[in-house]
Structure 1
Amino acid sequence: MHILIAEPRDILRTGLRTIFAEDERISQIYEAATQETLKACLSSKPINLIIINTSMMSNIKDLPRGKFVLLAPEVDIELFLKAYKHGARGFLSENAPAELLRATLGLAEGSFLIEPKMTVPILDLFSGDLRFAVKEELLTPREREIVSLLREGTDRRTIAQDLHISEATLKTHIKNITRKRTESTSLSLPREINQPEISR
């Protein structure tokens, strides 16, 4: 098996190389410390699996579907969903344990490994209403107020009364928020999601 480690920091890249070099399934390890080197490796090397830090990505669709594992400094729900949709093998922290990293080598096609310590924040985000999981900077001040109240569980009639707007105006604001959420993630999600679907 040929793997590519895409990590900009020398110390972490060396650590990852050491972890994978100990596995007898690995016959070749390539390394990329820059996006230019990453692109060159992707176009010229026979790679079975890419272990890539999210800081090295410009567009997730540049990665071969089903042949990559993301290493993230923290949970980014939008990136998590994009990775899942694009067939990632796993979503792990930058400091994932060696045994978890090596476990990605033997995953069956269609599997998606989530680091256990990341599951709680991911489930917390999924347990909310994803229609309002949107980047704050895309919202107007009024839309931010509405999202904040919706996340607190305030019903729409009360929100309209508290903000001194009609329910029709509130409905328009919510439609705009939903549109911005969809545009910012480029994902088609069901209107109501109570829990994530982890298996494909």
Structure 2
Amino acid sequence: MIRILVVDDHPGFRAGLRTLLSTAEGIEVADEAASGEQALALVGRTQPDVILMDLAMPGMGGIAATERLSRDHPHIRVVVLSMSDDDDSVFAAVRAGARGYVLKGARKAELVRSVQAVAEGGAVFGPALASRLMGYFSGRERAEPPLPGLTPREREILGLVAEHLTNPQIAARLGLSQKTVRNHVSAVFTKLQVADRAQAIMRAREAGL
């Protein structure tokens, strides 16, 4: 059963979404929140697998809430559910850690597929948004890779550090020895002039890794 937390400041929309998802097999709406602050307060108690997150809300908006959730609860997947499809909103959501972006008004089947895919570790942005994301990031890669002072292997390891993987986990993922990973991580810290993993993660996110 995939547990969902719905975050939107409009009670009517939350109620409609709950009704829509209540008939989907394998999905349970665990709770609702009307703001980013309320969502952060609820995650510990409700333990959702996926959060459906609106962007424009009073107080803490969806981008800031997604960033906090990605940092403090990386096992919880956030899918943005928004009326906005402009590039700034989509890219900001991706940078904040959203694993999906679905436009409000999407059909039930699309929404259910998105929730299931993200819960299984995938990412869903829909054909139109995905093509724009691919164009944006491929354009950046052609221009200059992020953090050009790092080698491709160091960028890869920094990306895994930003996913909160430990050195043994990175070693297992890449098929390297733990000593080799430690050496790479040390080189990354030196090149980025950071003191610890938290600062390295901040630099990685700023660079869009």
TM-score bracket relative to the smaller structure: 0.5 to 0.7
- Secondary structure (helix, strand or coil) at the match of 1:101 reads helix
**Pairing 1:103–2:113 present:** yes
Decide whether the 8 Å contact of 2:21 with 2:28 is kept in 1.
no
The structure whose Rg is larger is 1
- What is the Cα-based RMSD across aligned positions, in Å? 2.9
Higher relative contact order, structure no. (Cα contacts within 8 Å, ≥ 6 residues apart): 1
TM superposition shift of 1:67: 1.8
Deviates more, 1:118-127 or 1:13-22: 118-127
TM superposition shift of 1:4: 0.5
Decide whether the 8 Å contact of 1:6 with 1:52 is kept in 2.
yes
Q: TM-score when scaled to structure 1?
A: 0.56
Q: TM-score when scaled to structure 2?
A: 0.53
Deviations along 1:34-85, whole A, 9 cap, x unmatched?
23321221232221211111223224332232422112312335324325xx
Decide whether the 8 Å contact of 2:6 with 2:51 is kept in 1.
yes
TM superposition shift of 1:103: 0.9
- Secondary structure (helix, strand or coil) at the match of 1:113 reads coil
Question: Take 1:8 and 1:82, find their aligned partners in 2: how far apart are those partners?
Answer: 23
**Structure 1 residue identity aligned to 2:4:** I
Partner of 2:48: 47
Number of matched residues? 136
**Pairing 1:118–2:138 present:** no
Unpaired segments ≥5 residues, structure 2: 145-201
TM superposition shift of 1:20: 0.9
TM superposition shift of 1:127: 4.9
The structure with the largest helix share of the pair is 2
Decide whether the 8 Å contact of 1:96 with 1:115 is kept in 2.
no
Unpaired segments ≥5 residues, structure 1: 133-181, 190-200
